[in-house]
Structure 1
Amino acid sequence: MKLSDYVVAFLQKKGIRHFFGYQGTMIAHLVDSIERNPDTENHSSYNEQGAAFAACGYAQAKEECACAYATSGPGAVNLLSGVADAYYDSLPVIFLTGQLNTYEYSGIKGLRQQGFQETDIVAMAKPITKYAVQIRDAEDIVTELNKAYHIATTGRRGPVLIDLPMNIQRGEVENPVYDMEFEEDVCGVEVEEAVETASAHILHGTDEAVRAICDELEQAKRPVIMLGHGVDSAVSQQKLIRFARSRQIPIITSVLAKSVLAYDDPQNFGCIGGAYGHRYANMIANAKSDLLLCFGISLCTRQIGTKVNEFAKGAKIIRIDLDPYNLQRNIHENGENEIKILAETGTLIQALDKVPCREQEGISDWMVVCSEIRENLQAVDDALPERYPNRMIGELSDMLKDTGAIAVDVGQHMVWSYQSFKNREGQKLLFSGGHGAMGYALPAAIGAYYATGKPTACICGDGAFQMNIQELEWVKRENLPVKIMVMNNEALGMIRHLQRDYFDCLFAGTTDGCGFASCDFSKVAAAYGIPSCRMHCEDVKEEAPQFMEGQGPKLLEVMLEHGTFAYPKTCLGEPIHNQQPYAPKSVYDHLMAL
């Protein structure tokens, strides 16, 4: 069996039907095998970064493994931003790269380059993959491919990279194996060291962890569940929500986990955010709770603010995480009033789901308090004239209610989207979280379409959209049902806001006439053959619905004022529950006294 045929057949048997990449000499055998396999489809991007982000969007939307490929040298290097995105957001993606024939290597140590378009992609990718390896002998592919897939899909999931020299791709596999057994964690030595370093106070056993959680819940009067992307199974998510409903515990999510709960779910109390989180979520978690149950959420500075030790000082924090490295970090000073549990969130949630619910005095009153905080602070934000883009995003979400997934790019529009997009039950919002990569949304929406089989959408800013604008040809070529919204304020709005506050309004590289400019995106889309429309923000509610109807791709360009802002925003040094523009003192004091 030809080796490249085996690689494709292996991944197809693991459920990967769609492959994203860009053709090249050193990867041609693999692409030929994808094309010849009757059960797989090859999808060509116009930059390898687009292929990588499409694979990330596929993995996010389907919650399963994805695959992207590239040729050697510049092709492989172009994948790396998507590799990093998958690594930081724990997405199981198999990256396959072509490489020089093994016989072209000279064996001369220190030689800068062995041949044309050669790059040591394994060394470059190792810091941002769970596993990266070059195959030097065809006989190794069976073990290495099985091992790489196992690593990508178990434990804290993430990307792997396999570098395939051209002569290896055309080699032979004599005994193809599609399901090898491995130890629970093939990188166990590193994990053991991380556990030892983390703390002697980490709980490991499920029974002990469940007892600790239940004991703390019995004592708590104001518990909150903080739900992160680490709860990556739909079954586990629903069991955790059921656990919260039965005990009347409010849920606050990370941005990546926003779509776990529908926007109008009574248990949903918003997204935590050190700078731009929901005002009410920040107040409930940081200032009002006495117990935070944190499932698969990193509690990084973007979530809880740069003054980490100041977060939720009046609450006990229980952190359930599969990654021992995350648990090495303390939130409270010296880890006081903090319980760390090293566990797979799904296993622990399943055990908690079996614990009988007990009546707790005062818990229903706590939900009333949280609801009052949400209602009052949401009213404060809804009244802010600066938040007109948020209101427009809410209007757009009504027009996109039938889409399976919405990929959101990076910038002010990302903040407006996670604050105000009204996601329905089962509708996924996809973000580039830890990596925060501009140019993510359009290819991610493409990948999400192949993952779900449903129409998708993407929301971009004018700066972010230009990063991978060439993938419009991919959308047109395959006539994909992707609705594209470009928020055009003719500026890099988030940095412009920063420059206004801290750089005396010197808008270097962010506005027209100062190193940045934007085009007419509706005309660009028309040049690609995609129906398009340009309108001002205030006209979206009345004019956009008719344009957005129908099948196939469309691009809607929404014109905004140059000086747009993302609010509420935590001012540097302020507690995260007291954001600008500040709530009226009477409202703030009343809610803090509840």
Structure 2
Amino acid sequence: MNVANYLVKVLQEEQFENVFGIPGEQIMPLYEALSKSNINHILTRHEQAAAHAADGYYRASGKIGVCIATASPGALNFTMALATAYKDNIPMLVLTGDNELKYRGSDHFQSLPQVEIFRHITQDSYNPLNGSEAIFCLRAAIFALKNNPKGPIHINLSKDVLLSEEFDDIELCYLCEDDMSNISRAQELIDRSSKPLLILGAGAISQADNIKGIASKYQIPVATTFHGKGILSEEDDLNLGLVGIRSTPRSKYAFENADCIVALGIKASERTFLEIPDNLIHVNINKDVLVGEYPIHGKVEDFLANIRFAKVDWLDEILKIDNTVEVEGLNDDLKPQAAINQILKRFEDEVIVSDAGSHTTWTTLLMKSKSPGQYLFSGGLAPMGYGLPAAIGASVATGEKIISINGDGGIQMNIQELATLKNYDLNVIVFILNNYEFGIIRQWEESFYGMDPYQVKLENPDFLKLSAAYGIDAVRVENLDDLTMLLEKDLSGPLVVEVVVESEDIPLPK
């Protein structure tokens, strides 16, 4: 057995079921091993899409996504998607091929310093020099991704290392670093508190049921970051809504009046805190993002197991505030927000995947997430082209109907993945909001620079004919009545729906 076959054996033992990628010369030994395994390989049409799909796979299911590419021409196509996952702390296993070890650091065909390039956009980037190191790195990466999930982990695999039959499987000493030294100080602050507030981020998703029980039992109000939406259903009175630059009225009031803020699994970016409050207890497994006077480096699960809450009585005070976020134009024919509102009402129980663009703002304002992982989008980097491949990953992960909302600009960044959608007959409905422009960029030009629209108008293809070329059914709607009639039907994917909409400015944060 060579190293490639043993690595695949480890993946099977660790119950990895699906991987995304494209084969190539230097990674071929791993593909030869995969071909004999029970692991399902999803062949994408671009490596960026493979990594976005692995990202969406995790966000929708909590299962670690895997993406695979060959040496530099393939591997470097991962960079956008890895940076996206890195900014949002999405754990992924990233495997790339490379030329033989003797060519490292040379100008050999297709050789570049992949490990150094990826080091800036991954949690770790490993460069094993023999079979034993390769297996050790894989086991260490899997353990870290499952127990300390801070972002993608990359392993660069030279062809000769993969083909080697000389290796040992070294037993790991599994350690998880943490620092709970501030737990007693945090407890004292909680004990003094009569107006606590929980702020939930993506790092709290795994504890959704536990947090729901605590919030309900002690009547502690909850606010969320963008990626914490749905940890507690947004239909629950305890959930005040988003905090930060898109705060709801209730969330804003609670944040400003709380005497103790317990932030669980959040990144504490500028989109959440313009200033770090003095009464912030910040819990995160990533010590590099911790802020405030009460940093707790560890798992949300461990923090909750070692802290005590008491019942409080200030929810009624908060609920007196009207939490309505006014969105104009919901009945206008045909504003993008009107279209999105109809789509969200029709698919209120489905997973929604949003690309980057003005539609993401409208979707965030209008959607009420009922569960974690129901609304997927890239918050930290927000590249166009994320939506379609991430929806593919979510579909593979869940087997459920997935709704992908895209702009006409963003969809064309990875539109080749319609082939993947068709190839695997995935139940994904792709909505394309077509206003023939890069809408947010046009708004910035006009609002902040006093410019006439410049280099933002798009001459788009016929999306129906393009979809048909990929063998996918497609329909175009040009008014709200037709969209409503379409949405009354029993729709399933693969399906493309082009919605022709007007140019519209998004409401800017206040």
- Aligned 1:284-363 pairs, distance under 5 A: 284-304=253-273, 308-309=274-275, 316-327=279-290, 329=291, 338-352=293-307, 355=308, 357-358=310-311, 360=312, 362-363=313-314
Structure 1 residues 68, 356: CA separation in 2 closer, same or farther (over 3 Å shift)? closer
Q: What residue is the counterpart of 1:487 in the other structure? A: 433
Letter of the 1:211 counterpart:
Q
1:99 and 1:86 map into 2 onto residues whose CA distance is 22
Conservation of the 8 A alpha-carbon contact between 1:56 and 1:91: yes
Q: Larger % of helix: which?
A: 1
Letter in 2 for 1:230: G
Q: Secondary structure at the match of 2:164?
A: coil
- Return closer, same or farther for 1:489/1:470 CA change in 2, 3 Å cut-off: same
* Aligned residue number for residue 554 of structure 1: 495
Q: 1:286 to 1:251 in 2, by over 3 A?
A: closer
CA shift in 2, pair 1:124/1:296, >3 Å: same
Distance 2:240 2:338 in 1: 19
- Select 2:369's aligned residue among 413, 418, 423: 423
Contact 1:271 1:281 in 2 (8 A): no
**Counterpart contact for 2:198–2:223, Cα < 8 Å:** yes
**What is the letter of the counterpart of residue 325 of structure 1?**
D
Aligned pairs for 1:392-411 (under 5 A) are 392-403=339-350, 405-411=351-357
Deviations 1:34-87 (A, max 9, x none): 1211x2111111110000001111111121222101010110000111211222
Residues 129 and 160, structure 1, Cα contact 8 Å, conserved in 2: yes
Secondary structure in 1 aligned to 2:227?
Answer: coil
Greater Cα offset, 392-401 or 407-416: 392-401
Equivalent residue of 1:544, what SS? Answer: helix
Equivalent residue letter for 1:66: G
TM-score of the superposed pair, with normalisation by structure 1: 0.80
2:181 pairs with 1:204: yes
The residue identity in structure 1 corresponding to 2:449 is F
Match of 1:584 in 2: none
Flag structure 2 segments of 5+ consecutive residues without an equivalent. Answer: none
- Measure, in 2, the Cα distance between the counterparts of 1:129 and 1:43: 22
Contact 2:185–2:294 (CA<8 Å) still a contact in 1? no
1:49 aligns with 2:48: yes
Q: Describe the SS at the equivalent of 2:382.
A: coil
* Residue 225 (1) aligns with residue 198 (2): yes
Q: CA deviation at 1:484?
A: 0.7
Distance in 2 between residues matched to 1:271 and 1:173, nearest whole Å? 54
* 1:98 corresponds to 2:97: yes
Question: Structure 1 CA distance, aligned partners of 2:135 and 2:41?
Answer: 23
Three-state SS of the structure 2 residue aligned to 1:340 is: strand
Task: Determine the C-alpha separation between the residues in 2 that align with 1:426 and 1:231.
Answer: 10
Which residue type is aligned with residue 175 of structure 2? Answer: E
- Cα offset, 1:439, TM superposition: 0.7
Question: d(CA) in 1 for partners of 2:408 and 2:244?
Answer: 24
Q: Letter of the 1:428 partner, please give it.
A: Q
CA contact (8 A) 2:186 2:294 kept: no
Q: Of residues 413, 427, 442 in structure 2, which corresponds to 1:496?
A: 442
- Partners of 2:494 and 2:347 in 1: CA distance: 13
Q: Check conservation: 1:52, 1:79, Cα contact below 8 A.
A: yes
Matches of 1:475 and 1:384 in 2, distance apart?
31
The corresponding residue for 1:184 is 176
Are the counterparts in 1 of residues 93 and 142 from structure 2 also a CA contact under 8 Å? Answer: yes
Change (3 A) 1:41 1:385: closer
Give the secondary structure class of the aligned counterpart of 1:557. Answer: strand
Distance 1:318 1:74 in 2: 45
| Residues 437 and 557 of structure 1: CA distance in aligned 2, closer, same or farther (over 3 Å) | same
Say if 1:394 and 1:422, in contact at 8 Å, map to a contact too: no
Give how far 1:485 is off: 1.0
The Cα shift of 1:294 comes to: 1.5
- SS for the counterpart of 2:409 is helix
Q: Secondary structure at the match of 1:448?
A: helix
Deviation (angstroms), 1:281: 5.1
- Taking structure 1 as reference, are residues 401 and 213 closer, same or farther at Cα in structure 2, changes over 3 Å only? same
Identity, in percent, stands at: 27
Distance 1:425 1:215, change over 3 A: same
Contact in 1 for aligned 2:240/2:248 (Cα 8 Å): no
Counterpart contact for 1:499–1:505, Cα < 8 Å: yes
Give aligned pairs, total.
Answer: 509
- Equivalent position amino acid for 1:147 in 2: A
Residue 122 of structure 1, CA deviation = 0.3
Instruction: Report if the CA contact (8 A) 1:210-1:348 is conserved.
Output: no
Deviates more, 1:39-48 or 1:147-156: 147-156
Residues 139 and 365 of structure 1, relative CA distance in 2, 3 Å threshold: closer
Deviation at 1:428, TM superposition (A): 1.5
Q: 1:550 to 1:489 in 2, by over 3 A?
A: closer
- Per the alignment, residue 535 of structure 1 pairs with 477
Q: Does the CA contact (< 8 Å) of 1:484 and 1:555 recur in 2?
A: yes
SS in 1 for 2:266: coil
Pairing of 1:136-151 with structure 2 (within 5 A): 136-151=129-144
Instruction: Mark the CA change 1:176 to 1:481 in structure 2 (over 3 Å): closer, same or farther.
Output: same
Task: Verify: 1:31 aligned to 2:31, yes or no.
Answer: yes
Using the alignment, how far apart are the partners of 2:151 and 2:373 within structure 1?
A: 23
User: In 2, Cα distance between the equivalents of 1:389 and 1:266?
Assistant: 29
More moved, 419-428 vs 253-262: 419-428
Of 226, 232, 235, which aligns to 1:261? 232
State how far apart, in whole Å, the 2-side matches of 1:532 and 1:424 are: 29
**Separation (CA, whole Å) in 2 of partners of 1:253 and 1:67:** 28
Q: Tell me the distance in 2 between the aligned counterparts of 1:96 and 1:210.
A: 40
| Whole-angstrom CA distance in 2 between matches of 1:265 and 1:390 | 24
Residue 505 to residue 132, structure 1, CA distance change in 2 (3 Å): same
